[in-house]
Structure 1
Amino acid sequence: MSLLDVNMLIALAWPSHLHHHKAGTWFANHSKLGWATCPMTQCAFVRISSNPKIIPEAVSPKEALALLVEIVRHPAHHFWKEDISLLDSKVPTDLLLGHRQVTDAYLLGLAIRYKGRLVTLDAGLSALLSKNSPHRKALCIL
C-alpha cells in the first residue's frame, strides 16, 4: 500500500504540473495494489489546488474538495487515520535538519506504521533515513 504525498496528488490532478506524466505513469502501474491519503495530504491538496500562486489554473476550495472526492473514489483508495504522534518511534526524526522536513518525516512514519510506503517526487526525503535504515523500503522516490 502506498501513501501518496501531496506533491504526488497535485501532479496527478493537474495536467500542467511538471511531473504529471511521471506521476500518472506510476499511478497507472501501481494504484491497483492500493494507495492511500490521510487528513494531512487531503488538506494540503485542497489548500494548494486553490492557490493561484502555485497552480495557474487554481480552483476555489469548494471545487478542490469536489476534485478530491472524485480522486478518492478510485476503487483501490484507502484512508489512513493519523493515529501516531510525531514523537512516535516510527517517525524518523533523528536526521531532521530543517522545518520543511517535519511533515515529510511524519508522513514517512505514518507509512511505516501502516506497513506501507510513502510515494513522493521529492528526492530530498531520502535524507531522513540513514543509508542502512531498515525503513528505506518505506520510501519510494520517483
Structure 2
Amino acid sequence: MRALLDVNVLIALLDAAHMHHTRATQWLQQQIANGWASCPLTQNGCLRIMAQPAYPQALPLAAVASRLAQAAAHHAHAFLADDYSMLDANQVHWPHLLGHRQITDSYLLGLAVRHQCRFVSFDARLNLQAVPGATAEHLIIL
C-alpha cells in the first residue's frame, strides 16, 4: 500500500540534519517498493516550513522547491489531489477529534483512506475513529 507522507516526515527525509532523518530514511528504504505520495497540503507545508527563517536549516524557497521536485520526480512517487472537504459530514467524525491540532492530520488520514494509501506520521496522537473507514492498516507511526 502506497504511503502518504506527513509534512514532518517529508521534511525529515529532505533535511539530513533533521533529528528524525535516519528513522524516516530507513523506513522509506524498506517500504519504497510500495511507493510514496505527497499532496498539495504536504508539499506546501514542506516548502513553508523549510524556507522560513526560524527553521534551523532554512533554505531559500527555490532551493526547497528544487529539492522537493527532485524527490517527487522519483518513479515511486504519486501525487494525490486534495479531493474532499472535511465539511462533508461523511468524511469526519468530529466528536473523535480531540482538538485543533488534529485537524490537518485527520484530513491527511482521510485522504490516504480515499486513495487506498497509508498515512505515515511521527504523531501518535491521531485518532483512527475520527476518519470513517480508517483502520490500523491506514496509519503508520514512525
Q: Distance in 1 between matches of 2:57 and 2:83?
A: 34
How many Å apart are 1:97 and its aligned residue? Answer: 1.9
**Contact 2:13-2:25 within 8 A present in 1 as well:** yes
Q: Distance in 1 between matches of 2:77 and 2:91?
A: 23
How high is the TM-score relative to the length of structure 2?
A: 0.89
Q: Distance in 1 between matches of 2:92 and 2:63?
A: 33
Partner of 1:123: helix, strand, or coil?
coil
What is the aligned partner in structure 1 of residue 9 from structure 2? 8
**Contact 1:5-1:118 within 8 A present in 2 as well:** yes
Total equivalences in the alignment: 138
Partner of 2:119: helix, strand, or coil?
strand
What is the aligned partner in structure 2 of residue 43 from structure 1? 44
How many Å apart are 1:50 and its aligned residue? Answer: 0.4
Q: Which runs of 5+ in 2 are unaligned?
A: none
Q: Distance in 2 between matches of 1:79 and 1:134?
A: 20
Q: Are 1:86 and 2:86 matched, yes or no?
A: yes
Q: Which runs of 5+ in 1 are unaligned?
A: none
Q: Are 1:105 and 2:98 matched, yes or no?
A: no
Q: Distance in 2 between matches of 1:117 and 1:90?
A: 17
Letter in 2 for 1:124: R
What is the aligned partner in structure 2 of residue 28 from structure 1? 29
What is the aligned partner in structure 2 of residue 63 from structure 1? 63
Q: Distance in 2 between matches of 1:77 and 1:93?
A: 31
Q: Distance in 2 between matches of 1:92 and 1:3?
A: 21
How many Å apart are 1:129 and its aligned residue? Answer: 2.9
How many Å apart are 1:64 and its aligned residue? Answer: 1.0
How many Å apart are 1:91 and its aligned residue? Answer: 3.7
Deviations 1:11-38 (A, max 9, x none): 1011111111000000101022111000
Q: Quick one: structure 1 residues 101 and 71, their matched pair in 2 at CA, closer, same or farther if it must change by over 3 Å? A: same
How many Å apart are 1:92 and its aligned residue? Answer: 4.8
Partner of 1:11: helix, strand, or coil?
helix
How many Å apart are 1:134 and its aligned residue? Answer: 5.2
